[in-house]
Structures are given as structure tokens and as C-alpha cells.
Structure 1
């Protein structure tokens, strides 16, 4: 969808006009949101997704004029570099996956630079917010369109945010999010105690005697691992050893949310809510190799938890096709509107290919 690809496109059309195509992409006022909405509806009608995957993708840039470009971590290069970063939500099943929504991350340095914003055509209402906030906005938009929200999956970049996890819970959504091993929690058996009242001021709230520990410290010999298979890979069935246990993650945000629900600090017994922790340990590994936090009950079949946790692999296929086959990262325009037009047209092309590949496999929900 760049100037390099628009020219051959125009040459293939009977009345191809390269200038008109460039204007349609970069300056035309058409709204991309209804187009992306219809694409999402059409794909979800054809195949009911098991999960929605929240992710972000980077686009390396040589200059600094393109909307949202800044020196930041660039996943495409594996280091800090000048790039744009987009947050996305993908629907996925074992059969297929496809993008549902996108937004462009605006770094803090762009927030108050009015001259730079005007040149890139960034709307006044667009401000700098964390990627987790962008993701929540995309999820809210999709849910507001009447789409059923399945289990939400994301890597540790989102899973480590307690605020993000709580926001999903407040909306009544289920999640299976990767978390860092250094995240701390207490065992399910830990209980707070009530210090004796000293007679002055309000009573001291309940507190735990045992400090929280990093997740590896909670996985001991008592935890039972079992072998679980989750999909067929190029070299056969993919399996590993997994265990499920309950933990109590600490945090001011979690405590504040509970106090609001029970009527204040004085009404809270100090017990933090239990969360389910999925732990992976490869056969040849001496210690766990992966952790996922979920608000689903520990009685959820472990095969389901593993399949959802591992479903993120599907969107790597999306990126491979979107980038190498459809030009996702080849947009040479600089404007906010142009980027959204480009990403929408690439999404439409990928949706077309997905539906063609599915053919009779597509299952329309009853």
C-alpha cells in the first residue's frame, strides 16, 4: 500500500490512476472504523473465535515525521529504535485468526508538540496513554458493537499490569494472561491476622504475616505437573508438563478494588482474592518455563487453559502474512489518517484470503 506498490496496482487497472489511489489512501476523508467493524463481523460470523489476543506490533522508520514515530523498543528489530507501535486485537481459533481492531500508540513526546501533530494530522482528542489503555479502548469498542467477548489472551507486556487485569474483571471478561516469573504472590493457604486494637484511632486493618514471594517460589514439590498436548506442530504433537494452582496476588489496586466492593477499609477482612496460576515446565527443564494468570476457576479443564494460553501463536501467522504478503509494514505515508486507511485495507485483504482458505471449513454459528 505504499507508493512503490500503488504504481503496479494502478498499472493493472484499466483506468488506473496512481495519483487518485494515493489520495484515496492518504487524504480521502473516508472513515476506516465502519469498514473494520464490518470485516470483524463477517469473519466472526464465519468462524466463532475461541479467544481474542491483545498484542502490539512495531514498524521501523528512518525519519521522525510519521505519526507516532519515536525512539522506543522495536520488537521487529529486538532493540530500541525509531519506530511506530500499533496495538491490536485479533480473534483466534485453532483453525484461523484475523485482526479485529487496531490503534496507533502515541508516545509522550508527541502529546504537546502541536506543530508535529498538525503536520501528521493527529486528531485533537488523541493523547498519550499507555498501551494497556489503548487495548482496553479497542476491547470496549468491539464489545460496544455487540460482539461477544471470549477469553482474552495477551503476553506479559499486558499481563504484568494489575490495573489491566482488574479492568478486564470489572467488565466481566475472562482472561489468560502471561505474567513474569518475578511477579509476587502468596499461596492460597496464607491468611491475614487482625492486630490487637491499641485504643487510639481506627483499628489497624488485617495484614499477612508471610511476605509474598516470586512465582517460582510458590511452585514446590507438592505441585503436580501433568503432560498436556495443545496442538499439532510441524514436528508432531506439541506437549509439555503443566500444573494449576491458586495464589493470592497482592497490590494496592487489588486491595482498593475489594474495599470499594465491600463498603470500605473497615469492612474488609484483609483476604486477597484467589487467582488461578497456570505453570509450564518443559520435560528437559529443571524449573518452570512459563506462567499465566487467569480469573477462571481452578476447576477449569487444564487442557482448555493450556490451549487458550498457547493460542497466541496463531497471530504470528497473521503478522507473517500481513507483513510479507500484504505490505503491513510498507506504508510510506506520514499521516494519522493515512496509516489507519492503510491498516484497514491490509486487514480487508487478509480477511478475504482467510475466508478463501477456510472455504467449506467455515462454520457459521447457529
Structure 2
């Protein structure tokens, strides 16, 4: 990771200093969460190992890297210790906002699977996960990632409990699920995370999510808060307009099929590993409402619309329901939708580099503690990367100014 950050940017020494100071600051933030010094020391050692170069972050490997004789301290930290994982989540969120927060940030919601064997781990069951691309035995975690021009990192998480878990009190008791936890759909979990972010003052103007979260709870939460969204919907989702000419009514896929070619515009949804992610886009504003009509705190007219993305290669369609202040441009909506791939990047890096899916505990507390510690490690990395890139920008600007100021004199010296 250090090599990636130093390539053409900050020096190795500068990056190591940023890592040391960033990690030290993170440890200072979390130490007050623990009532015992030895537990706090275990948490700090856990963080060191997550950021280390070990390819897998199993309990024995973490213990070996931390210099422990066995994994018992690691297990105690995640299981028997008395500390609040939600308080750690709040520390992570504060860290992300402090280092990456901007007024035009986007909150991205998505889920990922944790493949498991057996039936003892909290929330495990046969369910679909995009991580495997099929129905398999796994846990599902719903996550919120904050995305801005400065970077991206997780700010919240929730373990999804299927109904066959929440209806079995004995099973919940065995995995130490709190008594007040009841069944909640994934959109309901997402809504709770959005509300927590709003209450904490996280600066974001829009939310992006896929079709799991495209209608219902999430929409209502965001409209009441005066926050825009670009949320995926299925092709058979029905859209209707009023006060448009001509009137629009029908399923999203049928509306898209009947659009004239001039309705489409080729735009980039951001840069990917292979360059600009170009698609054809169409946007249909469907209805306008004044903020006062739905108690929105942001005054002025808002527009409900349908955004459609068409793959250039095969014509595959993706549809989105949108909500934004009137006058929002198509490119702005495309930019919001384009942030969704950042959470996929978070999942991939967190699993490959920080052991997000290497949790060996079976309890509710163990899952949330492990995941929250990984989130903190990721947040430290994201803030260090932003600072390293800032140093690169400053150096480039400095060299450019030097070149501009020295250039004429050097030319005159050569020609004389």
C-alpha cells in the first residue's frame, strides 16, 4: 500500500510519517472506549496487524504478529471484553468526516456477503450474496460508505438478521444478540444508517444505492431530510409523470425502449481501472414538488425523475429513480450514480488487505467489533492516501512555479 501511495507522490519517509501519525491518532481516539488498559492495548495491537502485510488476518496470525503466545487476547477483545462497538463506529465516522468530508459528499449504501460453514455464526443462512453471485451459506452485512473528492471510506455497518433468526429467541440468545434487536429489512437498516449520519452532521448531499434499496424506506427518509438520491430500481418498476408533455407512464424498461435515439447522451460515470467509464444516459424529469409540500428543510422546487443507463457494448439497461433540486444537470446525476462503484472498491480492499471477511467469532458483538476495527483501519488508510496525494499536488505546483520562474533565465544562459 505504501508503494501505491508513494508512486510519483510523497516520498517513502513522508508516507511512513503519515502512517505513523495517522495510526497514532486513531489509537488515541479509541483508547477511551475501553475500561481496561490491557483490552485497549489488544485493540491497538489488533489495528497494527490489520494494517500490516500478513496475507490473512486469522486469530493465530494476528496473535503471532502481535507477539502474543496464542489468539486468546484477540478472542477476548472480540468476544468477552466489555466495550461498545457502536462507540467505535462513531469514532470511525468522525475520523472519516474530519479527513475526507466535503459539502458535496455522497453516501453510498450496499451489502456484501461473508461466506460461512455451519449454522452457528450470528445471522448465517442460505441467502443470495453478490460476493459469490449465488445463494449460499453466508452472513450479510449492510454498509454505508462516504465518498468525496478527497477519498472514500466506510462510516457505518449493520448485520442483517433473516426472519428465521429473529423469530428464534434461543438462537439469538446463544449468539448474544441484544434483546431490543428485531427483524429489519435491508432498506430499513440502510434508513437507520442514513439517519445516524444525518444526526451526526456528516456532510452529504446525495445517496446512491442499487435496486435493493430503491423504493420505500430509503426514499421516504431522504425526502424528509431534503437529501437527493439516485437509487437503482428493477426494469419492471412503474413510473408516471404529471405536467409533462407528453405524459410518461409505464414500466422503466418499456419507457427506455421507446425513447428516440436523440434522447440518449454519452457521458462518463467517472474513471475506472481501464479509463473513463462511458455509458449512454437518458434522463426524464417526471414531477416537480415544492419543498413545503413534503416538509423538506431545503427550500425550493424538487424534481422526481427516471435516469437510465445503457451499456455501449451490449445495450444492457440499468434504471434509477432520482430526487434532486430542480435544475440539477444530467452530468451531476451521472456523477452521483458513478460513486456506487467506490463501495465495491471498499469491499475488495477491506477483504483483501484488512481481513474484513476473516472474522472467526460467532456472536453479534464479535461481528460488529471485528468489522468496526477493520473500518477504522480502512479510514486510516484513506486519510493517509489523501494526505500523500495532497503532498504530491503541492510538490507538482511548486516544481511548476520553479520551472516557470527559472525557464527564461535558463534559456538565455544556454543561448549566450
Specify if TM > 0.5: yes
1:114-143: CA deviation from partner (whole Å, max 9, x where unpaired): 221111000000111111111111111222
The answer for the alignment partner of 2:279 in structure 1 is 240
Segments of structure 2 that go 5 or more residues without pairing to the other structure are 1-45, 51-55, 296-301, 392-416
Structure 1 residue runs without a partner (length 5+): 192-209, 250-257, 262-272
Check the 8 A contact 2:57/2:355 in 1, yes or no.
no
Is the Cα–Cα contact under 8 Å of residues 94 and 311 in structure 1 kept in the other structure? no
Partner of 1:282: 311
1:100 to 144, 155, 163: 155
Query: Measured at CA, do residues 149 and 359 of structure 1 come closer, stay the same or move farther in structure 2, by a change above 3 Å?
Result: closer
1:174 shift after superposition: 1.3
Q: 1:152 maps to which residue?
A: 207
Tell me the secondary structure at the aligned position of residue 135 of structure 1.
helix
Structure 1 position 335 matched with structure 2 position 363: yes
What SS does the aligned partner of 1:295 have?
strand
> How far is 1:211 from its partner?
9.4
The answer as to whether partners of 1:175 and 1:295 remain within 8 angstroms in 2 is yes
Candidates 25, 49, 61, aligned match of 1:8: 61
Higher helix residue share? 2
Shift of 1:218: 2.6
* 1:57/1:327 CA distance change after superposition, 3 Å: same
| Cα distance in 2 for residues equivalent to 1:326 and 1:314 | 17
Aligned residues: 325
Aligned-residue Cα RMSD (Å) equals 2.9
Q: Cα 1:298–1:279, aligned 2, differ >3 Å: closer, same or farther?
A: farther
**1:138 has 2:193 as partner:** yes
SS of the residue corresponding to residue 324 of structure 2 reads: coil
Counterpart in 1 of 2:232? 178
Give 1:224's match in structure 2, choosing from 239, 257, 263.
263
2:145 to 90, 114, 117: 90
Task: State TM-score, norm by structure 2.
Answer: 0.71
TM-score by length of 1: 0.80
Change over 3 Å in CA distance of 1:19–1:277 after alignment to 2: same
Distance (Å, rounded) in 1 between the aligned partners of 2:233 and 2:326:
17
Contact persistence 1:46–1:362 (CA under 8 A): no
**Displacement of 1:248:** 5.6
Residues 1-366 of structure 1: pairs in structure 2 closer than 5 A: 5-14=58-67, 18-48=71-101, 50-159=105-214, 161-189=215-243, 212-219=249-256, 220-221=259-260, 224-247=263-286, 275-285=304-314, 289-297=317-325, 299-361=327-389
Alignment partner of 1:240: what SS?
strand
- Cα gap change, 1:17 to 1:182, in 2 (>3 Å): same
Change (3 A) 1:245 1:72: same
Task: After superposing the two structures, state which structure 1 stretch, 97-106 or 220-229, moved more.
Answer: 220-229
Q: Which moved more, 1:68-77 or 1:50-59?
A: 68-77
Is the alpha carbon distance of 1:96 and 1:148 closer, same or farther for their aligned partners in structure 2, counting shifts above 3 Å? closer
